[in-house]
Amino acid sequence: MNDDDKVTPQAPRLLHDELPEEHEDPLIRWLHVVIRFAIKVLAVMMVLVIIWGVLDVVYVLYTKFISPPVLLFEVGDIFVIFGAFMVVLIAVEIFINIRLYLGTNVLPIRLVIATALMAIARKVIILDIETITAEEMLAIAAVVLALGVTHWLVGKQE
């Protein structure tokens, strides 16, 4: 094996066609650097939100376990726990969206739609049927249907 046959590993390069590192205008080039930095700051903040959300899930579980009747959940408690879990999962999806936006040259449309579906699913799971109006229920159903069809259509093209 000679030196030409060796493959040298390259560090992963962040790509984004809309925010190129090279641009003829120095101001635009600098603004692209600022925007890429801002996206990285958003990613760090989203990780902090995820950690905070996990701590919230632990707190919710703990308070529901120790409140009377001890170690038993009521139906409402289960919905609160599901809601806490779903918020963390949605935050993880948003972090993945941010990471893919920064690290690829394509907008992850299917993942964005899936994140929106997860968010509306959380709304449906924790929905209090006794306090919602018929118009609100129809609006939620329309959003679920539109997102579901969009996700299916985008998936069909792949």
108-121 pLDDT, tens digit per residue, is 788 889 889 989 98
Separate counts of helices (H) and strands (E) for the chain: 4, 0
17-21, 73-77, 129-133: which has the highest mean pLDDT?
Answer: 129-133
Position 14 scores a pLDDT of: 47
> Which of 123 and 58 is assigned the larger pLDDT?
58
**Pair of tokens at residue 136:** 């609100």
Q: What is the mean pLDDT of residues 124-153?
A: 91
Top-confidence residue, 17 or 122: 122
Q: Report percent pLDDT > 90 for the chain.
A: 32
What whole-number percentage of the chain has pLDDT above 70? 84
Query: Residues in the chain, how many?
Result: 158
Report the distance separating Cα 33 and Cα 20, nearest Å. 9
87: CB partners within 8 A, 6+ apart: 53, 56, 122
On the question of pLDDT at 140 being above 80, the answer is yes
The pLDDT of 132-157, averaged and rounded, is: 91
pTM: 0.71
